[in-house]
Amino acid sequence: MATNVKLAIIYYSSTGTNYKLAKTAEEEAKASGAEVKLVKVPELAPQEAINSNPAWKQHLEETKDVPEASLDDLTWADAYIFSVPTRYGTAPAQMKQFLDTTGGLWAEGKLANKVASAMTSASNPHGGQEQTILNLYTTLYHWGVIIAAPGYTDNSVFEAGGNPYGTSVTADQDGNWKEDVAAAVKHQTKRTLQIASAIKNGMQ
C-alpha cells in the first residue's frame, strides 16, 4: 500500500535516542515498501558544549555521514516523520531553525497536503513529551499538512506509555530506553504511510 509513498524522516539527536527512533521508523518504512530518506537537521551547538558531553561528542562523530536535511527533502516527500528530544516542552533550537527556513515553501503552498507525524524523548516520563509533539504540530498546521497521530489505534501505543500524539520514550543519559517503544514506532510509521498513500492516491 505504501509502495508509491516518499517518506522523509527528519530528526535531531544529541546523544542518540532520537536517531534510534528515526532508524526504527526507517526500517519499518522500507519494509513497507516506501521510498525513504533519513536526514538530520544541522547541529548548532558550540563545539565546547558538545565536547563537555562525551556521549554527545561520540554520537555526532558516529552519525557524521548521515545527510543533512534540506528544503528539497520537504518538497520531495509525500510524508514526514519528525523525531526530536524535548527542550523545556518544545522542539530543540536545531529543529526550530530548520523549520524557520521553510517560509518560502509555505508561501508557495508546496508543503500543503503532506502527511506528518512526530516522536520525541525526555529523561523522565513527564519531561514535556506531549507538549513537544503538540508544539511541533502547531508549526505543521501552518503548512497545511495532515497530522497522522497514532491515537489509540493499536495496543503497542498503550504498551509504550500511551501517548496518543506520537511515540515518546524516556531515556537515561546513556540513551537507554526505559520503555519498549519499537512496536509503537513501527505502528506509527505504518499508519503515517497508510494515510499518506490514501491521500496521495485519492488526490491524483
More confident: 172 or 34: 34
For residue 112, what are the CA distances in angstroms to 15, 90, 94, 141, 144?
Answer: 32, 23, 23, 9, 4
The answer on pLDDT for 137 being more than 80 is yes
Contact between 40 and 62 (Cβ < 8 Å): no
The answer on pLDDT for 204 being more than 70 is no
Model pLDDT, residue 179: 87
Q: Distance between alpha carbon 72 and the CA centroid of its chain, in Å?
A: 17
Supply the Cα-derived Rg of the chain in whole angstroms.
Answer: 16
The mean pLDDT of the chain is 95
Model pLDDT, residue 108: 97
Q: Which domains, from first to last, does the chain contain?
A: 6-203 (3.40.50.360)
What is the average per-residue pLDDT within 48-69?
A: 94
**With bands split at pLDDT 50, 70 and 90, how would you rate the model's confidence at 86?**
very high
What is the average per-residue pLDDT within 176-202?
A: 94
Nearest C-alpha neighbor of 172 from the set 117, 127, 130, 118: 127
The answer on pLDDT for 39 being more than 90 is yes
The answer on pLDDT for 37 being more than 90 is yes
Percent of the chain with pLDDT over 70: 99
Model pLDDT, residue 84: 98
What is the average per-residue pLDDT within 10-22?
A: 96
